[in-house]
Structure 1
């Protein structure tokens, strides 16, 4: 939970370390991704039974937890993804309506099946999907921004959106856009981890891990495979959290 990555060993302050039961890839999924979904939904989403929640990149490292935690709150969950394999994965973790944007038009599906809009959007893609998500918000809807991967590789690091119309759109619906950055909530991470670990150990929370089995070069093993893992992440082909296995029982996460 401290700055620095892509190393076989690192030194962090003791108060920045979080204990886990054992060295297993699934626990790495909880440290950032699980905690981000847990805390952001608890603090910003105002979830209640029966509400409609849209999760973008729902089969990814963080999206998988947003889906499951929203279902635990007895919400109806819609998730966007990019393949039938991911759609099937989403169904196994409780997603009520997976939308494969490669075969279905997300905007058309939302307008047809959710004409009153969605109450919460858990957004990590940015760009055109952010604009679509704003349009899909219901009255008093909340859009939580936890990332914008579509802009990570741009020279400016920004994901273009049509911000000019945003104030009017939000005002008409009494809606809101809320950003979440885990570092600002670090004091709550240990409590979140405690709950997530209990759910994980009790079989109530799936922790999807992608070790690169389906990547062109095979498993992500060793520090030299980090480059392949990053490229694989940007292709959007991973299901769950990408984990690179390092020597000496040390693992790194993306």
Structure 2
């Protein structure tokens, strides 16, 4: 069977040439295979169907309609047609999507000023393949469970290039935690941390989506790990994943604690808060210390996206200690991505990696279910209430095996 893609009214149709073994005589003494041509326009039967269920004609998605650091103001919930995948694409029915601090930076247009609204929101999702293009069908099939790191995840259905997805064992939110949060910690510490056994590592916002991974990877490297958090509950969680010294900064003086308990300074800081915590981290560095900036969430809601720091004295402080500040932005390290994800998946399968998920069970309005709850989930994270990676359930999980 051969298939050739035709375009009809912007949708994909498939020309199917069926060969059968009836023979015809050409009059030249040569028998050839007879052929019949069937134009099959019911592409949904072959390429857009999941367990025999129909795919709706419309869906919901979140769209950035104006640039603003106020997520609720910038983003609207819209009903649009379900898209059709192109030749190398997959149509994924999203089951879970991940919430990231950078969602606000994206809605504010800080990553690419040339991109103007409207554009789709969200960075990561996991779900089942319910449709695919011809080229994509060489490697995937309807019913496969896949996860992806790509724009436009805040939708009931997403069209994703097949080259951007990773096959997953099941549509579990734990797998989603590794795509951005886990990969950021894994690659940043490996490429920029230069961790050595016996060193002291400070992880700020340690009980958050990426902090939980930084704690575990630093501990696996044989380091003494210090983690900041905002509650005793979070401090208790940090102990369970190997944090040697959780510090609840709401009940302890963080600066005084670091000076008293770590007088020689901190060798590596995994920093995601910014502002005053950044300044404190710089002041706490040991000789030859390394501070990795993976974010500065404390300033994202401001007009500039930044909180003030004492940058004027930074060169002198770094010079005095032969220390360094290193920035990490995951898209610049995509060559490391698949190897990193593979290693994390192996650790998780062996029970050697905790992937804590916050699905909103402690939120007053209940679990984050449906795209409408993305707004609540973003607020939940920015209020510092999350324990682990914040995840929204878009649709109920079903068995993805046909």
- Stretch deviating more after TM superposition (151-160 or 236-245): 151-160
Per-residue deviation, 1:19: 2.1
Provide the C-alpha distance between the structure 1 equivalents of 2:162 and 2:307, rounded to a whole number of angstroms: 35
2:288 corresponding residue in structure 1: 140
The counterpart of 1:156, out of the listed 301, 304, 313, is: 304
Provide the C-alpha distance between the structure 2 equivalents of 1:164 and 1:37, rounded to a whole number of angstroms: 29
Per-residue deviation, 1:23: 0.5
Per-residue deviation, 1:248: 5.1
Gaps of 5+ in 1: none
1:76 corresponding residue in structure 2: 224
The counterpart of 2:202, out of the listed 33, 44, 54, is: 54
2:324 corresponding residue in structure 1: 176
Matches within 5 A, 1:82-161: 82-161=230-309
Q: TM-score, normalised to structure 1's length?
A: 0.96
1:202 and 2:350 matched: yes
Runs of 4+ that moved beyond 6 A = none
Across the two proteins, how many residue pairs are aligned to each other? 250
Per-residue deviation, 1:7: 1.4
Provide the C-alpha distance between the structure 2 equivalents of 1:129 and 1:117, rounded to a whole number of angstroms: 15
Task: For residues 153-180 of structure 1, give each alpha carbon's deviation from its aligned partner in whole angstroms, at most 9, with x where no partner exists.
Answer: 0011122211111000000000000000
Provide the C-alpha distance between the structure 2 equivalents of 1:35 and 1:143, rounded to a whole number of angstroms: 18
1:29 corresponding residue in structure 2: 177
Q: Describe the SS at the equivalent of 1:10.
A: strand
The counterpart of 1:44, out of the listed 183, 192, 196, is: 192
1:234 and 2:382 matched: yes
The counterpart of 1:166, out of the listed 302, 314, 317, is: 314
1:216 corresponding residue in structure 2: 364
Task: For residues 84-111 of structure 1, give each alpha carbon's deviation from its aligned partner in whole angstroms, at most 9, with x where no partner exists.
Answer: 0000000000000000000001100000
- Stretch deviating more after TM superposition (239-248 or 91-100): 239-248
1:191 and 2:358 matched: no
Structure index of larger Rg: 2
Gaps of 5+ in 2: 1-148
Provide the C-alpha distance between the structure 2 equivalents of 1:159 and 1:4, rounded to a whole number of angstroms: 28
Per-residue deviation, 1:187: 1.8
Provide the C-alpha distance between the structure 2 equivalents of 1:141 and 1:4, rounded to a whole number of angstroms: 38
Per-residue deviation, 1:2: 1.6
Q: Describe the SS at the equivalent of 1:60.
A: coil
The counterpart of 1:17, out of the listed 143, 151, 165, is: 165
Provide the C-alpha distance between the structure 2 equivalents of 1:20 and 1:181, rounded to a whole number of angstroms: 25
Per-residue deviation, 1:4: 2.4
Per-residue deviation, 1:3: 2.0
Task: For residues 196-239 of structure 1, give each alpha carbon's deviation from its aligned partner in whole angstroms, at most 9, with x where no partner exists.
Answer: 00001100000000000011211000000000000000000100
Q: Which of the pair has the greater relative contact order for Cα pairs under 8 Å at 6+ separation? A: 1
Task: For residues 119-173 of structure 1, give each alpha carbon's deviation from its aligned partner in whole angstroms, at most 9, with x where no partner exists.
Answer: 0000000000000000000000000000111011001112221111100000000
Task: For residues 13-51 of structure 1, give each alpha carbon's deviation from its aligned partner in whole angstroms, at most 9, with x where no partner exists.
Answer: 222212222110000000001111000000000001100
| Aligned Cα root-mean-square deviation (Å) | 1.0
Provide the C-alpha distance between the structure 2 equivalents of 1:64 and 1:241, rounded to a whole number of angstroms: 9
